[in-house]
Amino acid sequence: MTTNAAARSGFGSMIGRSSQMLELFELISCVAEEGESTVLVQGESGTGKELIARAIHENSPRKNGHFVPVNCAAIPDELLESELFGYVKGAFTGAQQSKIGRVQFADGGTLFLDEIGDMKPNLQAKLLRVLQEREVEQVGGVKPSKVDVRVIAATHQNLEKLVEEGTFREDLYYRLAVIPLQAPPLRDRKEDIPVLVEKFIVQFSRRKSDQPTRIDPLAMRSLQGYAWPGNVRELENLIQRLVILHRGKFVTMKELPEKYRCEPIPEEELPLSLPVESLVSEIEAQPAGTVAVATSDIEAPEVVWSDEGIDFNALISEFEDKLILLALSRTEGNKKEAARLLNLKRTTLIEKIKKKNLPV
Ligand SMILES: Nc1ncnc2c1ncn2[C@@H]1O[C@H](COP(=O)(O)OP(=O)(O)OP(=O)(O)O)[C@@H](O)[C@H]1O
């Protein structure tokens, strides 16, 4: 693949514009192209580990094979072995027919082992064999069969610590961590929050064919001041809720659920990053099937024509408010940038904000 991932701000359905995410996109691009080595993705829950695994698969020479996810923590221990490796007829009570396992189903594709830290030692040994010998043996079987899979494992746990504690095999750890990738927590890349918010607003508004909800600049900076223990998943859920409750409206601090009303992060504490506009146009330029962030526009105020005529000044003023708030939202409250977008002098913009008493 020849993409210059570092020069763009999205990969598959993943977006981000922080330096950490741009580096990650670049790594994913290299790893995907190579197509064979085992990958270990570590990171807190909700940071996008599965999205990373899918992006690697979809951009690799294996993309026409299956992407087979297995959550090692969600499948009961006694079932995980037969789920992964399959079984032969009569292997245990109830095994009336042979069944291939998910490892074999991923032949020619990618096996994604989520929450690998929860895998029990006997299965760790069997998995090691798959990685070392490239063969799989069904439960109750006598003859192993060859299998060609790329394994991507993920965990929110510290695997090195599990190795030290003796609950995770050291040899398996090194086999898995040929290429280690780290999914950074959202609190360490606050500059990604506005663009993720915009993506989720578009995603959830589109589903409801609605006017997009807008987050005012102060509320946005409050979200950037929050610690996000549930990472991107938590942000996604919050935006879904806000879109449902505040269709087509501006969400201010007042509308944010209480725990998200934080000390707004000062503008100067935010790392410099690509402006949203360049992100939007880059993502829009991506091929079909990748994410698109809409450059949604604002609606003109509703005009009711009557015999008395319209209140021209009030309507113009209302439209002006919307334009100013939208420009501020797109620039995360940066007045200088907003003035540039509006083609106004910065001082003129500040005067208008004051005079109109806008919530910024
Ligand atoms: N960079 C991103 N851009 C867009 N959406 C993202 C991004 N990162 C995560 N998401 C979204 O956040 C949610 C959680 O992502 P995902 O399931 O990949 O996280 P995870 O780290 O595998 O979580 P867990 O450890 O709990 O399994 C998903 O809905 C995903 O689409």
Q: Of ligand 1's atoms, which has the minimum distance to the CA of residue 199?
A: 4
* 16 Cβ inside 6 Å of ligand 1: yes
Going along the chain from its start, the domains and CATH numbers come out as: 35-184 (3.40.50.300), 190-356 (1.10.8.60)
What is the complex's ipTM, to 2 decimals? Answer: 0.98
Q: Whose CA is nearest to atom 16 of ligand 1?
A: 48
- For the Cβ of 191 lying below 6 angstroms from any atom of ligand 1, the answer is no
Return the ligand 1 atom nearest residue 15 CA: 3
Cα 62 to ligand 1 centroid, rounded to whole Å: 22
Q: Is the CB of 147 under 6 A from ligand 1?
A: no
Q: How far apart are CA 106 and CA 296, in angstroms?
A: 40
Q: Is 54 in the pocket of ligand 1 (CB under 6 A)?
A: no
Series of mean pLDDT values for 10-residue runs along the chain (360 residues) = 48 89 94 95 97 96 96 90 89 82 95 96 92 90 90 96 95 96 96 92 72 87 95 97 89 94 78 47 40 41 68 78 81 84 89 80
pTM over 0.90: no
CA–CA separation, 208 vs 239, rounded Å? 14
Closest ligand 1 atom number to CA of residue 192: 1
| Closest atom, ligand 1, to C-alpha of 41 | 21
pLDDT for the residue 163: 96
Q: Exposed e or buried b for every residue in 321-353, given b needs 16+ CB within 10 A?
A: bbbbbbbbbbbbbbbebbbbbbebeeeebbebb
Res 69: pLDDT: 96
pLDDT (0 to 100) of residue 108: 95
Give the residue, by CA position, lying nearest to ligand 1 atom 23: 46
H-type helices in 17-116, by residue range?
19-34, 49-58, 77-85, 102-105
Tell me if residue 50 falls in helix, strand or coil.
helix
Minimum CA distance residue for ligand 1 atom 4: 14
Ligand 1 atom closest to 236 (CA): 12
pLDDT at 232: 98
Cα–Cα distance, 198 to 191 (Å, whole number): 12
Query: Pick from 297, 298, 272, 295: which is nearest to 282 by CA?
Result: 295
Query: Collapsing DSSP states into helix, strand and coil, what is residue 13?
Result: coil
Closest ligand 1 atom to 16 CA: 1
From 232, 236, 282, 291, give the residue whose CB has the most ligand 1 atoms within 8 Å, as the site to mutate.
232
Q: Which pLDDT score is estimated for 141? A: 83
* C-alpha 302 – ligand 1 centre gap (Å): 39
